[in-house]
Structures are given as structure tokens and as C-alpha cells.
């Protein structure tokens, strides 16, 4: 008997048409797997208890605690509503890259991850919104918890075309001021930009009291630089084409790229931002697990 397809594998997913179907298959494959159910303890509940004082609203009394202690305690809610998640999807030209080693481009992979997260959040009856960006905010969909909201989110993602430069720092500063409702900000990007500007923008989200999770989406060729023969490298985001012998550049390239990655990791760590590096040949459950683990840690 043949095994059923693993829809968490991007190679399998590449053969599936339609972002909505991909999202559903990813989430169902994840939940059916060996992972702990993501539907337990996912929403924000309350931060702590405090003793009742005359005049308090009795609707917030924790009667279970009263039954055990014979004293009145009130639930102090951290947020009056359920979780609000803001998905920030980089649609700049560099996200178009797909090497021979990868079954999906960086943008296709990021769309799959974002769609699966949106599907998962709405299943939980929490709210999710979306911003697509390059050097400008291309689309901004306000958060909603309505099940029909998924189609709008997926339509915006599917219509996104990677063809412009990016400017993450200014974009993040702008979005930090626009996203009024405090929640979880999930960035899906290759982060190919000035690191100081990028980190300053991410820090602005933290200043506005958002939780921030950065999923850096990279092609395996960008991490390994496996090229051997004389190669014409096509410039993205207004950079020129370069014909060169990659073997003579490999060591310097890898050193410079690792320096870039280390700066990104350090900037996130110093600002209490969750950072996860994800390869486009990597199982999609990495993105889901990273997001849910971050949420669970803060809920405990």
C-alpha cells in the first residue's frame, strides 16, 4: 500500500495548484502528524488574578478559584479579544528567486506558509490580517476572524507580483504606526536589505508592544553557493548582471553571507524577536511549529 502524499514537503506541494488547497493540505497534514495539537491554549486568555474589591464587575469572578479557596478573585485580562495576527509578506523582486535545488521560489514558499498560518488562525476563530510590501505597502488587509476572510487574504497573495526593490525599514516603521491593535506580527521575507534599517523597523513593532516572529525564507543555493561553471548571475532589485567564475568567489561569498545572517540574528535576539531561518526545500511544518512554539511559550 502506497503512503499518502506528504503535503508538508514543498516538492509535493509544488504539484498542487491553488493557494487555498495548498493551505488546507499543509494544515491538515500538520495536525494529523506527530505534533501536539495547535488548537489547545492558542488564544490569549488572562494574565493573572487579583482579589475582588467592592464595585468590581462580578462577571469576571473566577468561580473555580472561589470553589477552591472560598475567596473572590477576578481574572485580569491581558486583552479583551482573541489573538490578532498580522502577516507581513515581502513581495519584492528578490523573493522571485528559485534555484534548480528548490521546488518553489521564495515567494511561493512564503505564500504557502502565510496561507497556512491564516487558515490555522481562522480555524481557531482568531483574527488575521495581511500586508504585502516591497518599497511600498502594496496591499493592507485589516484583521478579521470571519471564515470568509480567508478568500480575501489568499486573493491578495495570489495577485502579488515580485518586481520591485524592497525597503523593509521604512515599511516596518509605517506599519508599526498603522497596526493599532496589539498582537503578533509575523514577517515572511528573505530580509535582503540594510540590516541596521531592518532591525530598527522591527524594533518599532516591539516598541508598540507587538510580539514579533521573523521567518527568513532563503533558497538553498543562497546558503550553499553550489555553482561550479562560469555563470551569468542576473541582478535582482535593479542590480546589474555579472558574468563570473563562481569557484573563485565562493569562499568570500559564504563569509559575507554568514556575516549578514549573523547580524540579522543578533538584531532579533537583542530586541526579543523570535527568529527562524527556513529553506525553501524544507518541510512546511518548520514555519508552523516555529510560530506555534513561540505562541505557546508566551502563554505558559
Question: Using an 8 Å Cβ cutoff, are 128 and 181 in contact?
Answer: no
145-196 pLDDT, tens digit each: 998 999 999 999 999 998 888 999 999 999 999 998 899 999 999 999 999 9
Stretch 132-138: mean pLDDT, rounded?
96
Region 10-38+81-299: CATH code = 3.40.50.410
C-alpha cell at 40: 489547545
What number of other Cβ atoms are within 10 A of residue 173's Cβ?
Answer: 17
DSSP state of 95: G
203-243 pLDDT, tens digit each: 999 999 999 999 999 999 999 888 776 655 555 555 556 66
Q: Where exactly are the structural domains of the chain?
A: 10-38+81-299, 46-78
Lowest mean pLDDT among 43-57, 130-144, 258-272: 43-57
DSSP notation for 212-258 = EEEEEEE-HHHHH----S-EEEPP-TTPPPEEE-HHHHHHHHHHHHH
Question: Using an 8 Å Cβ cutoff, are 94 and 191 in contact?
Answer: no
26-71 pLDDT, tens digit each: 998 887 764 443 333 333 344 456 676 666 666 667 777 767 777 7
pLDDT band at residue 75 using 50, 70 and 90 as cut-offs: low
Helix (H, G, I), strand (E, B) or coil at 174: helix
Question: Using an 8 Å Cβ cutoff, are 254 and 225 in contact?
Answer: yes
Beta strands in the chain (DSSP E): 48-51, 73-76, 84-90, 127-133, 137-144, 184-189, 211-218, 231-233, 242-244, 274-279
Lowest mean pLDDT among 118-122, 187-191, 262-266, 293-297: 293-297
C-alpha cell at 168: 523593509
Amino acid at each position: 500500500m502506497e503512503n499518502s502524499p506528504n503535503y508538508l514537503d514543498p516538492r509535493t506541494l509544488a504539484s498542487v495548484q491553488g493557494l487555498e488547497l495548498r493551505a488546507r493540505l499543509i494544515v491538515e497534514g500538520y495536525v494529523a502528524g506527530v505534533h501536539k495539537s495547535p488548537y489547545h491554549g492558542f488564544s490569549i486568555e488572562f494574565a493573572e488574578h487579583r482579589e475582588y474589591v467592592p464595585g468590581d464587575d462580578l462577571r469576571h469572578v473566577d468561580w473555580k478559584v472561589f470553589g477552591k479557596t472560598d475567596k473572590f478573585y477576578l481574572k485580569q485580562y491581558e486583552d479583551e479579544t482573541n489573538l490578532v495576527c498580522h502577516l507581513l509578506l515581502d513581495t519584492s523582486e528578490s523573493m522571485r528567486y528559485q534555484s534548480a535545488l528548490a521546488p518553489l521560489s521564495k515567494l511561493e514558499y512564503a505564500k504557502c506558509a502565510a496561507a497556512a498560518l491564516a487558515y490555522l488562525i481562522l480555524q481557531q476563530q482568531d483574527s488575521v490580517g495581511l500586508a504585502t510590501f516591497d518599497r511600498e505597502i502594496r496591499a493592507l488587509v485589516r484583521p478579521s476572524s470571519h471564515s470568509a476572510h480567508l478568500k480575501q487574504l489568499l486573493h491578495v497573495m495570489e495577485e502579488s507580483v515580485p518586481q520591485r526593490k524592497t525597503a523593509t525599514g521604512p515599511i516596518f516603521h509605517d506599519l508599526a504606526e498603522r497596526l493599532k491593535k496589539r498582537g503578533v506580527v509575523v514577517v515572511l521575507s528573505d530580509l535582503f536589505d540594510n540590516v541596521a534599517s531592518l532591525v530598527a523597523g522591527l524594533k518599532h513593532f516591539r516598541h508598540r508592544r507587538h510580539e514579533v516572529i521573523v521567518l527568513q525564507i532563503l533558497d538553498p543555493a543562497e546558503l550553499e553557493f553550489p555553482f561550479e561553471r562560469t555563470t551569468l548571475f542576473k541582478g535582482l532589485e535593479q542590480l546589474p548582471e555579472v558574468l563570473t567564475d563562481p569557484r573563485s568567489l565562493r569562499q568570500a561569498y559564504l563569509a559575507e553571507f554568514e556575516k549578514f545572517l549573523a547580524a540579522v540574528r543578533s538584531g532579533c535576539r537583542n530586541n526579543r524577536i523570535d527568529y527562524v531561518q527556513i529553506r525553501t526545500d524544507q518541510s512546511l511544518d518548520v514555519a508552523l511549529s516555529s510560530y506555534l512554539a513561540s505562541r505557546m511559550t508566551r502563554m505558559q
